[in-house]
Amino acid sequence: MNDSAWHPFNNGSTLGQPCSEQGITIRDEEHGLGARITLERDAHSAPFAITCGLYGWMVHTRFFSHATEAQAQYEQMKHALSDLLKAAAESSDGGSNVLIDGVSRFVQTYP
């Protein structure tokens, strides 16, 4: 699935606003099939935090010291979430088994 399925969350209104880890939102995107990923700076526990979720399935947060690493990981995680959502959408069982296995693999890959 290409990145055109991602769009700014709430039309970009969250940028510059406080975020879940008490930082400031610098990127915030939503996937049309049911995911969100947010990058914030000056988080409570680290200079950068990425929080992502699959609606109804998981919320996962990671912390970073450097902007370049956080930006690169944001892109990698976004692609992985897209792939997982595509696989679930194409599954004959409604995606439950794909998501159960996929969420576990995602968290292991992006601890």
pTM for the full predicted model: 0.94
Q: How does pLDDT run across 6-33, given as a tens digit for each residue?
A: 999 999 999 999 999 999 999 999 999 9
* Each residue's pLDDT tens digit, 29-74: 999 999 999 999 999 999 999 999 999 999 999 999 999 999 999 9
pLDDT bucket at 1, cuts 50 / 70 / 90: very low
* pLDDT at residue 92, as a whole number: 87
How would you write 6-41 as a 3-class SS string?
A: EEEHHHHCCCCCECCCCCEEEEEEEECCCEEEEEEE
CA distances from 91 to 22, 29, 65, 85, 88 (A): 37, 24, 38, 10, 5
